Structure 1
């Protein structure tokens, strides 16, 4: 395995036609994923996910397909456990907001990886293949889009932006599961990491544009309105409004882009996967 091109060597994204199909609503997700969970007992245990993430995800958050193939059994074992365990199915196992938020983060990571693998990491993949395909989770059928809404409800928009994914326009996968302890601190760190990532949050210096990822763009007006209300300003841009949420190099990066035009990045993301040579 090797990386080519940009730092991440992302698998090629959607074609213009695929993007049009997504935006026009013509795309249909694949059928539901079915798991045999008849003999699975609920438990708040992420040990199998820990093995998958540590061995099949690199330091840049890229999935390594060859390594993942060797861990299919452990990933499926984790998914079966998540299917019968969760805040709705077994609320006694998730008594605090932090417990529930960690569950949704781990569930999103596990299913994002599995759905990409089921699609066989194609050259072109539509968001619906990841976000709208029904999967068994928390005692019901859910989708990644549904998980995102749970994360938004439990942790707010910054938690959603920082949630792990396999698309290049989402925050990167972690190499370890999330726990309730320190989850808020990890979210803050991941949010800044995402804003500072030149491949996932693109700033086009030549065109003087900030290509805002869809997961952030959906909250653009709320972020701007909150900034104007907090600081008594009028007419702030999204780039300016985001400055108060980041520090360090992420802050400097956005500060240098003040005056650039924020625009919505295309919904068609690339898979964050290490490519075969």
Structure 2
């Protein structure tokens, strides 16, 4: 035995070292699972627009042990008083920047999966919407836009828009009459009623579950929070119905539309 160890001991140690390195590499690459931690930043942005109810989230994703591919992120919102549930899917990535002067339009990207590495945390600024409700209101909204285009065509026939040219007073009066007639039309009233009823951001407490979904392996990492909406916030969010309806009109008139209101709630 002593002669065997003298002859092959060094070789055995070398082979053991190689196997150990190979096993550690195999463990890290195929066996040891990656872990995701989410660090929220700022507040929860709550909105209501042509996309339906929306939520904006900022933060950082950090992974441990190995690279992880994030295939998607979605949210589950539950209103605590009646347990009404709504699923939110991501619809846009926003840059993690703030334009304090408000002079530059906010650019957004179509969301897609991305890779996060242990040595490179990923900052995110994501907008989510209730796509089920969006699909529900879209047909009526398309009808509303079609009706407006009919009015816009009539306005163009009365006086084609021309930069720097002011139409006569009687032409202005006729155009105002057409626009006001559209605002009093049945489609306008139906759209207002429908959008107002579909805005479920009522005052109260809500739970928010963030689901970060990975691919290969397919796993779900969840973070749970609570947030609240105040009475003034709820009223301001419902005022966005007017902004939605006025958007095509103000665009035709080349005037500033009413701004969209948002509620900002702290994580709990």
TM-score range (shorter-chain normalised) is under 0.3
TM-score (norm 1): 0.21
Higher relative contact order (CA 8 A, sep 6+): 1
TM-score (norm 2): 0.22
- Higher fraction of strand: 2
